[in-house]
């Protein structure tokens, strides 16, 4: 006779309904996960709306009116301020001066920054000291830099002209000649910003995989060949970033040309007057806020144009790297 076995009764899993307290906590947790990131970044956008977007829109509004510094808003004039600015000589002269100073400063500045970054990337003794040292000109106040270089490039008793006369060359009229004044101002800009850009390039340079250099060495490449074939191509996105930021800063240059002489008007014949000094003169010397706002809007459009060129150039380089974005 076989033993009869009985299976244990099956227990069915009955879901436990969430308590009201637990459901409320869960909703708060989901709300926290969803909303918190937007709250964290909200202060930036609030500040941008107050200090960035609103002034931009208000400047465009002022540019469409006959706006006097003392009398305030006048009648609506449409695009008259833009037409007056674009058909006048002052805007184009200031734009040419701005582009000239930008080219004389940015091109040698980026080349020198790349060279300094390559030197700082080598095994130097006390390399932290050298890396901090190249940043010192950046922390010097622009007023102090302008005073120092104004004396160095003084027409009669400046150190630069004294050195030129020592080697038998004619002194340069640094404040009278247009190109010479641009070179002097570009020297000030390079003094302040070369070290800053060098540190940006150095940070990108240290992120390059070392095995690329080892592979180049196995292929017989020397240090110069490795620099041009490995370092520079790997730094292209960072170089583009430095170029664009230098371009934006160069188009808005104000401190150095403003303090290049004691009058701050860009020279007796406006030979180094930039767009920002021209804007300042229209707004605070001629009290024509409408025309000054028109120049500000045009300067904004020029900077946006350079930004679009940056985007197109970056996308082109990404396609050249095999379509990787």
Find out whether 160 and 153 touch, Cβ atoms under 8 Å: yes
Domains in the chain: boundaries: 89-321
Residue 92 region by backbone torsions, left for phi larger than 0, else alpha for psi between -120 and 50, else beta:
alpha
Written as six digits, the tokens of 52 are: 């960035």
CATH 1.10.3720.10 at 89-321, yes or no: yes
| pLDDT tens sequence for the chain (325 residues) | 444 444 555 555 555 555 555 677 788 888 888 888 888 888 889 998 988 889 989 999 999 998 887 777 888 988 999 999 999 889 999 999 998 998 898 889 989 999 999 999 888 788 888 888 888 888 888 888 888 888 899 888 889 999 999 988 888 999 889 999 999 999 999 998 999 999 999 999 988 888 888 888 888 888 888 888 888 888 888 888 888 888 888 888 898 898 888 888 888 888 999 999 999 999 988 888 999 999 999 999 988 887 787 667 766 765 565 444 4
Alpha-carbon distances of 66 from 18, 73, 81, 92, 222, rounded to whole Å: 67, 6, 8, 22, 65
Find out whether 284 and 208 touch, Cβ atoms under 8 Å: no
Written as six digits, the tokens of 213 are: 């250099």
Find out whether 113 and 194 touch, Cβ atoms under 8 Å: yes
**Dist. CA 292–CA 276, nearest whole Å:** 9
**Dist. CA 253–CA 189, nearest whole Å:** 9
CB atoms within 10 A of CB 188: 26
Sign of dihedral through CA atoms 243, 245, 246, 250? positive
């Amino acid at each position: 006779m076989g033993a009869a076995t009985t299976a244990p009764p099956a227990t069915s899993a009955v879901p436990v309904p969430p308590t009201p307290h637990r459901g409320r906590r869960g909703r708060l947790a989901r709300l926290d996960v969803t909303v918190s990131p937007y709250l964290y970044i909200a202060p930036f956008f609030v500040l941008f709306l107050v200090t960035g977007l609103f002034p931009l829109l208000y400047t465009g509004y002022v540019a469409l009116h006959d706006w006097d510094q003392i009398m305030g808003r006048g009648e609506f004039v449409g695009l008259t301020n833009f037409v007056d600015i674009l058909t006048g000589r002052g805007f184009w002269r200031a734009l040419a001066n701005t582009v000239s100073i930008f080219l004389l400063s940015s091109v040698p500045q980026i080349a020198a920054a790349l060279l300094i970054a390559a030197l700082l990337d080598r095994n130097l003794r006390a390399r932290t000291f050298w890396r901090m040292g190249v940043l010192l000109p950046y922390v010097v106040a622009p007023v102090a830099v302008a005073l120092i270089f104004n004396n160095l490039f003084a027409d009669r008793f400046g150190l630069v002209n004294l050195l030129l006369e020592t080697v038998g060359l004619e002194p340069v009229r640094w404040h009278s000649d247009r190109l010479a004044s641009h070179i002097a101002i570009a020297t000030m800009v390079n003094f302040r910003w070369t070290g800053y850009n060098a540190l940006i390039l150095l940070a990108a340079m240290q992120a390059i995989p070392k095995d690329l250099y080892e592979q180049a060495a196995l292929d017989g490449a020397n240090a110069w060949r490795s620099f041009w074939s490995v370092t520079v191509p790997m730094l292209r996105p960072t170089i583009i970033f430095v170029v664009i930021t230098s371009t934006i800063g160069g188009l808005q240059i104000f401190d150095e040309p403003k303090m290049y002489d004691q009058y701050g008007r860009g020279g007796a014949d406006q030979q180094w007057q930039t767009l920002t000094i021209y804007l300042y003169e229209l707004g605070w010397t001629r009290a024509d806020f409408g025309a000054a706002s028109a120049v500000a809007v045009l300067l904004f459009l020029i900077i946006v144009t350079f930004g679009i060129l940056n985007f197109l150039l970056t996308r082109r380089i990404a396609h050249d790297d095999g379509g990787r974005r």
